[in-house]
Every structure is written in structure tokens, then in C-alpha cells.
Structure 1
């Protein structure tokens, strides 16, 4: 009986890996904390991803990276915290539009890993989802520009944090200086009047297990 259970488990694992490879998804084999460099029109940002806490989210993000899907996308949302008396910024969000603010190709939505213990603290990176539907995240991500406790899970789902900024804090701060306004094409406020480009995202050397 034990032998049968072990065989079945191995078959399940093998079929899962095969399905992932067949769909062209990124499978991170031997590193829990890969690092990426986000090359923008303002400068470079290095982010360490936490695959130990957010494996689905990190593999999804890296799938877009290795397929070059973030090339020549933009940050389309640079928003201040409207409720703060300190004139703080809220988030910088991007990865979903090109420089003309046309939407980019999306893969299947992923499961929301917001219950992983990682918090939406300043200079963390998290996945954006759509219309209060927690399991709709695809390619858009955002940088928390302050401690956003209300984005953490409480009575409901939060936003899944999957990495931390290691270098380039000053680049994010500089991005917040961009002039923004309403963009009719995407129907959204806080859109840079001059596109802030994401030229590419590259995988760097990762910390081994």
C-alpha cells in the first residue's frame, strides 16, 4: 500500500512539472530567493523575490520575465496617499501597458498568496488584482511606497507581497516626481504624462539553497 501511495505521489509531481513546462512557465529549481534587475528610463532597481513564501507568485512573475513580456512596458500609476497628512506616496504600479497605454498580453490569473506572512511595507513589491477579485492577478505589480497596512489580509484577502527592493530606492523616489494626471485611454488618474518606461527585467544571480 505504501509503495502504491509513493508511486501515485511521484506520478502527480511528474505530471505537474510536465504541465508547467508544457505551458512555458518558469520553474525555479534550486533557488528560493532569485533577484531581478528592473531597468527603467529613470534608473535600475534590484528586487529580491521570496519564493519560499510566494512560490506561485514568483514563478508567475519570472515567467513574464524570461519570456521578455515586461520589455518596453510602463509604470502607469504613481499615486499619492489621499488620506495621509504627510504628503506620502501610496504605490507605483506597472507592467501591464505599453508606452501608448495599450494593454499587454496576459497569462492565466494566479491564486492569491496574500496569506504568506509578508506585509505590504514600504519598498516591498506585490501583485495587483482587478475589481476586488483577489484571484485575478496576472502581470501587473506594484511597489509599496509607504507601509500600507490596509493592503494586508484582514477580514478578507489582501495583496500578495512577493519581494523586497534591495537597490534603487532613490530611483523609486525619483519616479514619484513624475507629473501625472487623468489618462482618457485607460480611464485612470495618477498616470504619468511622460511615460516612465520599463525597458526590461533581467534575472540576476540568486542566493542558493
Structure 2
């Protein structure tokens, strides 16, 4: 699933086209935000996306004000196989995406969930998890990657919009961040790019279909920029991330700092 190959441009273009065309989940029929093919031996090329029902509303604008937002930064600690991964969430540049993730962390949604898709061959690509259906050990492995967070207040799945802030000089004292682009892919260079060791949201072909599934990047993946929302980065424990195998479970995720910056 990696786009870095020895045949340079032609092979890369071919794989990129395959990735884009298989942005939806090829597992089962419903919901969510991951790009899995179902089984661990699948040889199809896919991107970090998921299947969604066709009747899903895309009218995110009416709900955007009700979504959690992170105003500033926050730190969370994820434990996998007893080892720690420290993640800095960037609410300055991805307030809704980071806020959604922090809210789900605070609710304990990710505890016990499975990394249902880990792609390391032929090149490192992503380690993807966050499907709440994976908490049930009897849930079919072939269907993991089709689920998202069900909000108990609405009894329906929470979706968040695709969120991309164009690049700017964040270090400049008089820097004015450009407006965030919502609900559409873009060719502009984003402020938060798909560099090695970032965390981003998986989604389906529909831009506003991310819910709870996320992925860690195992390499620089610039071809995903502008199509998926990066919302933070691993600051410690990338060796743990690189050791994640498909089927490994998240022991726990807890907020270390910044919960006061979460607005719900």
C-alpha cells in the first residue's frame, strides 16, 4: 500500500490511482471511516478510508457548531501491549478533528479497540484502528473497519467534516492563519502534512464521513495531503507504533494534559 517504489513516477502514479479509487472500505456494507479490505491477506491497494451508508447526511454545516472542538493543544497517552505512545493533538490547526478524537479518548471509546489494518509491505504505510465494533471479541474480523462512534445522545453515528488548514508561517508573530477548508479535498499544501509519525482521520469517499477511525503514518505520505485530516503527531513511542501488528489491541488511551481546552 505504500506509494514509494523503485519504479519512481510510473509505478507511483499507478499506485496513487489505485489508492484513490479504493478510498472506500472494501470490507462490508456499512458506515465509518477506515480503508480496510476485510482480511489481513488482502492484496488490494487501498487508502485510509471506510465504507459509509448511502443515506448518510452530508449536511455537516448544520451540526458543526455542536461538535467538540479543541482550542489549543492537548497530550494523550496510548498504551499498546503495555507500551506507551505519546500523541500531541493540534487544535490550533484541526480544532474539530482533534476535538473529536480527544472527546472520544475522554469517553474511553478507544480502550480495547483493535488495529484492524496495518500495512508495512511492500513499503511502510499506516497502522489503522478505532472501529468501536472491535471491542466485541466475537465481531467478525472481516467487518472491522466499517464502524464509527454512536453518540448515545442521538443514537446515531457522529460524523465530522474533512478539515484542512492551508499552510502558513505559524512561528511569525503577526501570522494570521488562513481560513480552514471544510468538507472538500484540496490541492493546497496543508499546515498539517502527512509526515512520518502523524495521526490522521480515516474516512470514506464522502469527505464528511470521518467518525472515530484513525491511522498512524509509518512513512512520509504526501499524496494523502489535502484529502485526509491530520490532527496531531506522535512525540514519543514511534518504536511502539512501528511494532504494532494487525490484530493488536489498544490497552487504553488517557488524557495527560489539555482537557480544559476541549469545548463540548
Determine the structure 2 residue equivalent to 1:204: 256
Q: Is the 8 A contact 1:33 1:207 kept in 2?
A: no
Determine the structure 1 residue equivalent to 2:119: 79
Question: Which structure has the highest strand share of the two?
Answer: 1
Residue of 151, 165, 169 corresponding to 2:234:
165
1:94 aligns with 2:129: yes
Determine the structure 1 residue equivalent to 2:225: 152
C-alpha distance in 1, partners of 2:110/2:260?
A: 25
C-alpha distance in 2, partners of 1:118/1:199?
A: 27
> Normalization by structure 2: what TM-score?
0.55
Counterparts of residues 45-194 of structure 1 (less than 5 Å) = 45-80=85-120, 82=122, 88-96=123-131, 97-98=134-135, 99=137, 100=139, 101=141, 103=147, 105-106=149-150, 107-116=157-166, 117-130=191-204, 132-153=205-226, 158-175=227-244, 178=245, 192=246
C-alpha distance in 2, partners of 1:81/1:134?
A: 27
Aligned residue pairs: how many?
160
| Structure 1 stretches of at least 4 aligned residues deviating more than 6 Å after TM superposition | none
Residue of 15, 22, 33 corresponding to 2:73:
33
Deviations 1:122-173 (A, max 9, x none): 000000001x2221000000001100011012xxxx1100001011111011
- What secondary structure does 1:172 align onto? helix
> Normalization by structure 1: what TM-score?
0.68
Q: Which runs of 5+ in 2 are unaligned?
A: 1-62, 151-156, 167-190
